[in-house]
Amino acid sequence: MRAYETIFILHPSLDEEAVKANVEKFKGVIENNGGEVESVDVWGRRKLAYEIAKVNEGVYTLINFKADAELPKELDRVFRITDGVIRHIIINPESK
């Protein structure tokens, strides 16, 4: 299993419960596909560096996890089809 981290930005119009539901959804995708979540850090609402789709701020969340090489592809697919996600990135910090 490899170590990965993902940062995603949720739309600021989502209430606190919707943010928690999305975080749990993404944790579930990781855990249901054989990965293990090491840590979840919700950074909260922050100003974006530049405007994305007429939005100036978003709710940032960082998840560190371990998984096989195929899981990031599935997680990326789920990020892309989830309405509240403005941006996301999945990286392997060990591959420098």
Domain presence at residue 15: yes
Sheet-wide strand order for 36-52: 36-52, 55-67, 2-10, 85-91
The number of residues making up the chain comes to 96
pLDDT tens figures, 59-93: 999 999 999 999 999 999 999 999 999 999 999 98
Domain presence at residue 83: yes
Domain carrying residue 33: 2-91
CB 33 within 8 A of CB 71: yes
Domain presence at residue 96: no
Domains held by the chain: number:
1
Band the pLDDT of 96: cuts 50, 70, 90.
Answer: low
pTM for the predicted model, two decimal places: 0.92
Residue 13 maps to which CATH number?
Answer: 3.30.70.60
